[in-house]
Amino acid sequence: MKEKTISELGSFQSSLTKTSLSPYLKAFPVIFYEQGYTEITIRRKQWLIGKFNQWLSQQTFRILELNEQKIDQFIEFHGIKGATRRGDRATLILLLQHLKNLHIIPSLPENTENNLFDHIEQDFVQYLSQERGLSQATLIRYPATVRPFLKWYFNRVSAQMETLKAPDIVKFMLSYAPTVKRSTAKLMATCLRSFFRFLWGVQHKKVAKS
């Protein structure tokens, strides 16, 4: 990571209002640097996270109760002041998923599809952390990147995790890659390689136990 990036990240970390959540927010913006966002966009996202953390410190609900509805309350609060922008909610939803992956807040079953995705993503994060020893930034980035593939795969008739094969991933990439930047497609391919190894390991353990 460049010295300027480290310096800016350090400034963001030191500016955070001290709350029960702030220790888990410090590494979160790393994902934006690694995904190649412009400095202006990153500053905006860091500002948003800082404001959200500050708003949380003024609320009476527990961190365990943090969910999408609470995020919408924050968006509405700042929207009245004309401070919100397009993409702010997506940034905070990504933060919410990050906190779920860290088991700071529970993954409540909103519907069958989301509950299934959350379960798969949490197992994937555990694999990346315990067996691959990957960085915190990667633990944030990979599950969120894989979700479009999960949505695509499970929208197919009779699709099951146990029947997923390498050609399915190739087929997805052929349709996905032309719709995004080359760097985004490359990240997706890297994530899916790790995801496929993770699934292979799960199936291998099931066979070994049987």
Q: What is the pLDDT of residue 6?
A: 46
What SS3 state is found at 21? coil
| Rounded Cα gap, residues 23 and 5, in angstroms | 19
Q: What is the pLDDT of residue 14?
A: 67
The model scores a pTM over 0.75: no
Return the C-alpha torsion angle 55, 61, 65, 66, nearest 10: 0
Instruction: Report yes or no: 140 and 25 within 8 Å, Cβ to Cβ.
Output: no
Checking 88-91 for CB contacts under 8 A at 24+ apart, the result is 88/48, 91/45, 91/48, 91/49
- For every residue of 26-42, DSSP letters joined together read TTTTHHHHHTT--HHHH
| Rounded Cα gap, residues 96 and 101, in angstroms | 9
Q: What is the pLDDT of residue 114?
A: 55
pLDDT tens digits for 53-85?
888 888 888 878 888 888 888 888 776 555 666
* Portion of the chain with pLDDT greater than 70, in percent: 74
Residues of the chain with pLDDT under 70: 1-17, 35, 79-86, 107-116, 136, 156-159, 202-210
Q: What is the pLDDT of residue 8?
A: 54
Beta strands, E only, the chain: none
